[in-house]
Structure 1
Amino acid sequence: MTEVLVQAVSYTMLAVVAALVGGVIAIYRQPSAQMESNVQHFAAGVVFAAVAAELLPDVHTRAPSVVVIGFAIGVVTMLGVPRLGTYVERRGIGGKIAGAASLLVTVGIDMVIDGVLIGVAFLTEPATGVLIAVALAIEVLFLGVTGVIALPEEMGTFRKLAVPGSFGVLLLLGVLVGVFALSGVSGTPIALVLAFGSAALLYLVTEELLVKAQKVPETPTSTTLFFVGFLLIFLLDMAH
């Protein structure tokens, strides 16, 4: 288990660094709306390919009833997370950052879920874990930018960077939970987690990344970047 944990944490550090890089970019050179859309399209293609190439083939071999339950739990959870964030924001929780509370709560929970998925992926097949970690690192880069942009402008630099830093900590926490809680476990529990994770990532692509990317007009460049991201991960999977 120690070797798996070291591998999982090592590759997850890519996402931790990506979150901080995104935060720095947002502080010193906030990207344009079109650039954000391009990154979102690329990240969507990357995550979509990771699900299609690694998670779904494994889920396909499991019992249909287990897959349905895992997917259902994943969908319900992902639908509920934004509502929880909205509730927190309406209650004014968070003081000066109350206006960004909904986003921060949603992303924070998503980071824990993604971390657990990375941990389980490394337990089942290290190559799968690597691809999932790389795909999510690109997603987290965008979330680091988004999290900092949502904060009040008067906040200090270090306090702003604490937000993407906390995203990274929550991701690592999820990895630890996934590895320690499910090490040595096989069969139905792993199948449930993989089906849950597949649904969560598909929700991320369709209801988060691509929806937000449509805030600016679609361009040939942004569409092309979606397929470039998909092809990149697909080729990496073929190389393994």
Structure 2
Amino acid sequence: MVLVQALSYTALAVVAALVGGVVAVYRPPGPQMESNVQHFAAGVVTAAVAAELLPEVHERAPQVVVLGFAIGVVTMLGIHRLSKTIEKRDVGGQFAGAAGLLITVGIDMLIDGVLIGVTFLDNPDTGVIIAVALAIEVLFLGVAGVVALPQGMGVLRKLSVPAVFGLLLASGVTGGVLLLEGVTGAPIAVILAFGSAALLYLVTEELLVKAGKVPETPVSTTLFFVGFLSIFLLDMFH
């Protein structure tokens, strides 16, 4: 069953989110280490989109790719503006300082989950690679979500944040598979193109922007390309 297979690989990302949260609570990474992880994750996600998602969809429906990609960009810009508005209005009570980030990541987790589910419906081999790539991305997001929380917050409450990220991801996978199973053609192509735009937005406007706040080093730059190449190696041996 596709849903079981998709959720079994999504479990990697759920565990990665929790591991990231635990690391952030007990041994938060320094700025340089965080930048290194961001570079690696950016390379992995970029390769997954460039090598696995867009080429396959583009061959089948190039016009649809443009439409889905445009919708994805507009959606992510809207989510970004929403997060900024929430931060300015100081919404969220105890989570006020991190509310914008948490809501943005939460929506991104739902989108990523749907993307994983759809890729497993379309091509299970591609689904495995996307799930692994997103597990690395989610590891960083688990760290970022916990680091953004107030210092005085309890450990269990902090760890509830990456746990919710994982739940949203699994919910997106479940919803994507159940709602779109049996659907083929243009609707699937639109969703894959939409998801590709969302992932590239995350790379360019979140991962690399935050990584750029720390001076570049040969190690961090190299890790981007190591992450990129790792997807090709995974594809070769899968």
TM-score (norm 2): 0.98
**1-side partners of 2:15 and 2:174: how far apart?**
18
- Count of residues in Structure 1 that have an aligned counterpart in Structure 2: 238
- Which residue of 1 is the match for residue 79 of structure 2? 81
CA distance in 1, matches of 2:89, 2:225: 41
Contact 1:18 1:141 in 2 (8 A): yes
Superposed, 1:1-16 pairs within 5 Å as 3-16=1-14
> Post-superposition shift, 1:31?
0.3
Q: Please state how far the C-alpha of 1:146 moved relative to its aligned partner.
A: 0.5
Q: CA RMSD in A?
A: 0.9
- 1:86-136 CA-to-partner distances (Å, cap 9, x unmatched) read 222233321011110010010000000000000000001111111000000
Amino acid at match of 1:174: G
Query: Which residue pairs with 1:107 in the alignment?
Result: 105
Residue 140 of structure 1 aligns to which amino acid in structure 2?
V
Report the AA paired with residue 204 of structure 2.
T
Post-superposition offset of 1:193? 0.4
Aligned to 1:128: 126
What letter matches 1:231 in structure 2? L
Structure 2 counterpart of 1:52, one-letter code: A
Q: Which residue of 1 aligns with 2:227?
A: 229
Q: Equivalent residue of 2:60, what SS?
A: coil
Asked if 1:33 is matched to 2:31, the reply is: yes
Q: Which residue of 2 is the match for residue 48 of structure 1?
A: 46
- Residue 213 (structure 1) shift: 0.5
**Equivalent in the alignment of 2:139:** 141
Identity of paired residues, percent? 76
Q: 1:72 aligns with which of 66, 70, 73?
A: 70
d(CA) in 1 for partners of 2:84 and 2:199? Answer: 21
Q: Which secondary structure state, in structure 2, belongs to the residue aligned with residue 216 of structure 1?
A: coil
Deviation at 1:82, TM superposition (A): 1.3
1:214-225 aligned within 5 A: 214-225=212-223
Counterparts of 1:86 and 1:214, CA distance in 2: 20
Superposed, 1:175-194 pairs within 5 Å as 175-194=173-192
- Relative to the length of structure 1, the TM-score reads 0.97
Look up the equivalent residue of 1:118 and give its one-letter code: I
Check if 1:24 corresponds to 2:25.
no
Q: Distance in 1 between matches of 2:134 and 2:116?
A: 9
Structure 2: gaps spanning 5 or more residues? none
Unaligned stretches of 5+ residues in structure 1: none
Distance 1:117 1:69 in 2: 16
Task: Write the deviation string for residues 175-212 of structure 1: whole angstroms up to 9, x where unpaired.
Answer: 01110111000001001001111111111111111111
| SS in structure 2 at match of 1:61 | helix
Match of 1:94 in 2: 92
Secondary structure of 1:153's counterpart equals coil
- Contact 1:53–1:237, Cα closer than 8 Å, also in 2: no
